[in-house]
Amino acid sequence: MNIHEYQAKSLLESCGVKIPYGICIEDNSTAAIDSVLKVFEKHEKVVVKAQIHAGGRGKGTFRENGQHGVQVVSLDRASDAIKAMFYNTLVTKQTGSEGKTVRKVYLTEAIAVKKEFYVSFLVDRTLQCPVLVASSKGGGEIEDVAKTNPKSIIKMPIDPLLGLRPFQARKIAYLFELDAEATKECVRILINLYEAFVQLDASLIEINPLVLTEDNHICALDAKVQLDDNALGRHPEYLALDDPYEKDPKEVEAAKANLNYVALQGNIACLVNGAGLAMATMDIIQYFGGTPANFLDVGGGAKQEQIEAAFRIILKDPHVKGIFINIFGGILKCDMLAQGIVNAAKSVKLTLPLVIRMKGTNVEAAKQILEASELPLIPIDDLAQAAKTIVNKVKGGAL
């Protein structure tokens, strides 16, 4: 699960990571903004930061006024900068061209920066352990640095039993070319960041930039933290960090119905049971020249209401031009599924082509239900043939 920068920083601060002082503003009335600005009255400069679940805000611009999503401004200009962000659309390299509406603005003290670095902690699947990635060239996109200056990047595996060792953290401090005092502080912050990574059950902590300040301290100017939602049992408090505005409404509805749904860019909606089969189904659609509109795993024990909910959700996507249902009946019986599909298709007055491939428990009873429904559903047993058919239907071609 993704959280906002201000939330990420507050979690990191509680783990002993130094961050700039800041307040998140959620109300754009002049009174609310002025009361926050009053807290900063001793500051000459402040940083105004749009809060969206996407990076690249500093270079990104608002569609309505061309201003940037992160602005270092003098205090007397802060109010205008804040108002220029609220409820406007910020387009960055990571938001796509549609951009994201800003509903929260984070105001922080401005830090006098001497050097910018990059630090992240994540799990490397190939190495099967956490890794620390660091670069002496922070601030910009790490992907660009990897291309233009790969020598400035260190990737360091971390032994999960030993944690990040001080000598490893010192190696990073040398990469950053810090003096003795700043090295000590940097080592402590890196170790605290790793501790935070473990204790928070994070799947990613990315600090870009981690900075050396003019007065020789180390501070996290930006923070991206991804929390592992499988750990919600240990951290029920994370639910309060969720921002429903940042999610696709279809994904929110799917989560409520206990469905694993991810919206994609294509036009063939998929309804499958089992994550592996869902992946294979998307692959075979792609193989025959189609593009999947979603990943949808209804799970092994899906109930009829869930099938109907799944149907409603996939049809909310205006790009969908056809539906492909691929079910391996086991605990989820094919006849139950067929009844769910027929009910849903009737209630939404389905007009799109729908190809169904079913195998397994009660498949014969299921076929009878589909046939008796007199809906224009296309049952096909062979997976390749079924995939080819839906791709062709969507393209409007002959079979």
Please identify every residue annotated as catalytic.
Answer: 118, 206
Give me the helix-helix angle, 304-315 and 249-256, nearest 10°.
180
Q: Shortest Cβ distance from residue 59 to ligand GDP (Å)?
A: 6
Q: If we measure between CA atoms, which residue out of 252, 142, 123, 300 comes closest to residue 197?
A: 123
Q: Does 99 bind ligand GDP (CB under 6 A)?
A: no
Q: Tell me phi and psi for residue 76, to 5 degrees.
A: -70, -15
Nearer Cβ to Mn ion (222/308): 222
C-alpha dihedral sign at 317, 61, 120, 3: negative
Q: Give the position of tokens 């940097």.
A: 186
Q: If we measure between CA atoms, which residue out of 253, 250, 273, 276 comes closest to residue 263?
A: 250
Which residue type occupies 78? A
Q: Shortest Cβ distance from residue 211 to ligand GDP (Å)?
A: 8
List the single partner that 110 binds among ligand GDP, Mn ion, none, CB under 5 to 8 Å by kind.
ligand GDP
Q: Shortest Cβ distance from residue 94 to ligand GDP (Å)?
A: 8
Q: Does 335 bind ligand GDP (CB under 6 A)?
A: no
Q: Does 222 bind ligand GDP (CB under 6 A)?
A: yes
List the single partner that 22 binds among ligand GDP, Mn ion, none, CB under 5 to 8 Å by kind.
none
Q: Which DSSP category does 110 fall into?
A: P
Distance of alpha carbon 205 from alpha carbon 15, whole angstroms: 13
- DSSP states along 340-395: HHHHHHHHTT--S-EEEEEEETTHHHHHHHHHHHT--EEE-SSHHHHHHHHHHHHH
Nearer Cβ to ligand GDP (55/290): 55
Q: Shortest Cβ distance from residue 60 to Mn ion (Å)?
A: 11
By CB under 5 A, name the binding residues for Mn ion. 208, 222
- The distance of Cα 343 from the centroid of its chain, to the nearest Å, equals 33
List the single partner that 113 binds among ligand GDP, Mn ion, none, CB under 5 to 8 Å by kind.
ligand GDP
Q: Give the position of tokens 């593009």.
A: 291
Burial code of 340-349, b = ≥16 C-beta within 10 A, e = fewer? bbbbbbeeee
Q: Does 164 bind ligand GDP (CB under 6 A)?
A: no
Q: Shortest Cβ distance from residue 206 to Mn ion (Å)?
A: 8
* Contact region with ligand GDP (CB under 6 A), list: 29-37, 110-118, 191-199, 373-381: 110-118
Q: Shortest Cβ distance from residue 116 to ligand GDP (Å)?
A: 6
* Contact region with ligand GDP (CB under 6 A), list: 106-114, 298-306, 315-323, 332-340: 106-114
Binding residue for ligand GDP, selected from 23, 73, 113, 315, defined by CB under 6 A: 113
Q: Does 139 bind ligand GDP (CB under 6 A)?
A: yes
C-alpha dist (Å) from residue 118 to 53, 109, 141, 154: 19, 20, 9, 10
Q: If we measure between CA atoms, which residue out of 66, 140, 71, 139 comes closest to residue 107?
A: 71
Q: Does 110 bind ligand GDP (CB under 6 A)?
A: yes
Beta bridge partners of 354: 323, 377
List the single partner that 292 binds among Mn ion, ligand GDP, none, CB under 5 to 8 Å by kind.
none
- Asked if omega into 157 is within 30° of 0 (cis), the reply is no
Q: If we measure between CA atoms, which residue out of 224, 219, 119 comes closest to residue 169?
A: 119
Q: Does 290 bind ligand GDP (CB under 6 A)?
A: no
Binding residue for ligand GDP, selected from 18, 58, 229, 299, defined by CB under 6 A: 58
Stretch 35-54: interaction string toward ligand GDP, x if CB under 6 A: ------------x-x-----
Stretch 68-87: interaction string toward ligand GDP, x if CB under 6 A: --x-x---------------
Q: Could you give the 3-state DSSP secondary structure of residue 146? A: helix
Structure tokens given for 236: 């029920």
Q: Could you give the 3-state DSSP secondary structure of residue 124? A: strand
Binding residue for ligand GDP, selected from 53, 57, 137, 333, defined by CB under 6 A: 57
Nearer Cβ to ligand GDP (95/392): 95
Q: Shortest Cβ distance from residue 225 to ligand GDP (Å)?
A: 13
Of 140-159, which residues contact ligand GDP (CB under 6 A)? none
Residues near ligand GDP (CB under 6 A): 20, 47, 49, 55-58, 70, 72, 110-111, 113, 116, 139, 208-209, 221-222
